[in-house]
Structure 1
Amino acid sequence: MTAAAQPAGSGLPPEPVIANLMRVRGIQRVPSPRLTLFVQRGFLPPDLCAAICGLIDSNRRPSTVSDPNGDDAFRTSETCDLSPDDPIVIEVEARIAALTGLDPQYGEPIQGQRYAVGQQFKAHTDFFDVDGVDYERYTSVAGNRTWTVMIYLNEPKAGGATRFKEIDKIVPPETGKLLAWNNRLADGGLNGATLHAGMKVRAGTKYVITKWFRERPWGW
């Protein structure tokens, strides 16, 4: 058993979220001064992961990027916007809130991603670049992203790891494993060291879900 998470609002400042994650039995904090990254194995049970994979398969579409860079191979996965009214999604939302203390009203709807053999998402950050073409479009309502929570739903036969390039950390996919990281620096600025990539799947299929939190309540 772990202590109840303390309210952490939007994740700004990050200290309440960090305190909540540190209280979790078995959680690992990656030892790097450059970014705040946590890894928790077995966060979701296999049956719940399998159910979410089914939801993704039923309503997937080609993934997109906020600022296209002309590289058609930059992000080649498929995406599914999971319904916040689905009982399975409601359960996952509740588990994330209980773990982190992050207020769900600051969160984007959970998104699922599916990677077939050869598909990838090259090195990128989750926050919106202030110099990006569509910065105002994506941040005008809820602000920029604060925390990312990503969960692997299965283990492909080969490949599909997440690489944090700036700290040379590679996290292999494992059913139910959660990653949580702060997209900000201690002073609130955007942290470029969160640069990460979804490496190519070499055999099998990879499924993940991602929950992003914002500076202000989600209002789209």
Structure 2
Amino acid sequence: MSTDDLTFDPAELHAVSAKGDGVASHRLAVLTAMGLWVRQDWAEALRLLERAAAQGHEPAGDDRAALAALPDLGQWLTPPRPRALMAGPAILTVPDFLPPSVCDWLMDQAREETRPALVYDPATGDGLRNDIRTNSASQIGLERMTVTMALVRERIARIAGLPVPGLEWTQVLHYGVGQTFDWHVDWLNPDEPGYAADLASRGQRIATLLVYLNDDYEGGETAFEAGGLRHRGKKGDALMWANTLPQGGVDPRTRHAGLPPTAGEKWVLSQWLRGRAPTG
């Protein structure tokens, strides 16, 4: 059975999984890891992943192999403390946030699925192409979610102190030589009518977290106007910043850019975090 033939109904998935279908077992493992429509249970998610791999579902086997690089669950779900990079806007670094093998796995997951990256249209809230952003992106939505990715998202949420349901779908970004995401902010301007419905449903983008998935390139720093900061982490390091102020308003000091690589290619995981799950 193909993934396209399956729903996300847990009862149906359990029935199909019990008949030996690895696709259903893997999808059920992902839902259990994420706590979607079922109670979140990491032990059960890992058991279902083992079942899916034993049933011959190749993506489940790849998913299980990626997990082999992770430390024990308790250590993984207790991420290291971030370190502030500057006084002023809350911009922090987290060394060794992801193991190098997971970085490689994420790049492999994204490589075949990259598309031209989009920006929000402030008039409508829809995505559109714009010369401000010339890199490409691969979005990992529910159809492409894995147990490994669910664990990465859990770790991101825990280090940011924000709920997992408030995470937008994770993206893996690719920058070739000369490609950039020019100066911009990640928060949504509450004065723009095109953002009103999104903000009402999901709230503001409270924080952004990046993970540098490789470091064998030149240039490509993450630049902030505040303090003239230019930052480039090593493979597996995270960079995190708050898009909002403690009082709740947006922080204009977080204007930043993804500068272009001058040699090689840059891969980075990008995660926007909201304060709650979508409503309505």
TM over 0.5: yes
Say which structure is richer in helix.
Answer: 2
**How many angstroms does 1:26 deviate by?**
6.5
Which residues of 2 match residues 158-177 of structure 1 at below 5 A? 158-177=218-237
Bigger drift between 134-143 and 23-32 goes to 23-32
Residue 203 to residue 137, structure 1, CA distance change in 2 (3 Å): farther
Give the conservation status (yes or no) of the 8 Å contact 2:119–2:130. Answer: no
**How many angstroms does 1:100 deviate by?**
2.9
How big is each residue's C-alpha offset from its partner over 1:24-65, in whole Å with a ceiling of 9 and x where there is no partner?
Answer: 7563212312x1111011110110000000111121110011
> Structure 1 stretches of 5 or more lacking a match?
1-22
CA distance in 2 between counterparts of 1:98 and 1:68 reads 31
* Matching residue of 1:32: 87
CA distance in 2 between counterparts of 1:214 and 1:65 reads 18
* Matching residue of 2:271: 211
> Structure 2 stretches of 5 or more lacking a match?
1-77
How many residue pairs end up in the alignment? 197
How big is each residue's C-alpha offset from its partner over 1:167-219, in whole Å with a ceiling of 9 and x where there is no partner?
Answer: 21110142111011111122111100001100011111111111111133135
Q: Which runs of 4+ in 1 moved over 6 A?
A: 68-71
CA distance in 2 between counterparts of 1:133 and 1:174 reads 39
How big is each residue's C-alpha offset from its partner over 1:51-84, in whole Å with a ceiling of 9 and x where there is no partner?
Answer: 0001111211100111379994310011111134
Aligned CA RMSD, in angstroms, stands at 2.4
Residue 219 to residue 86, structure 1, CA distance change in 2 (3 Å): farther
Which one of 158, 181, 185 corresponds to residue 125 of structure 1?
Answer: 185
TM-score, normalised on structure 1? 0.81
**Relative contact order (alpha carbons < 8 A, sep ≥ 6): 1 or 2 greater?**
1
Which residues of 2 match residues 97-136 of structure 1 at below 5 A? 97-132=157-192, 134-136=194-196
Which one of 31, 37, 45 corresponds to residue 99 of structure 2?
Answer: 45
CA distance in 1 between counterparts of 2:216 and 2:197 reads 35
Q: Determine what percentage of the aligned residue pairs are the same residue.
A: 29
Give the conservation status (yes or no) of the 8 Å contact 2:243–2:251. Answer: yes
The structure with more radius of gyration:
2
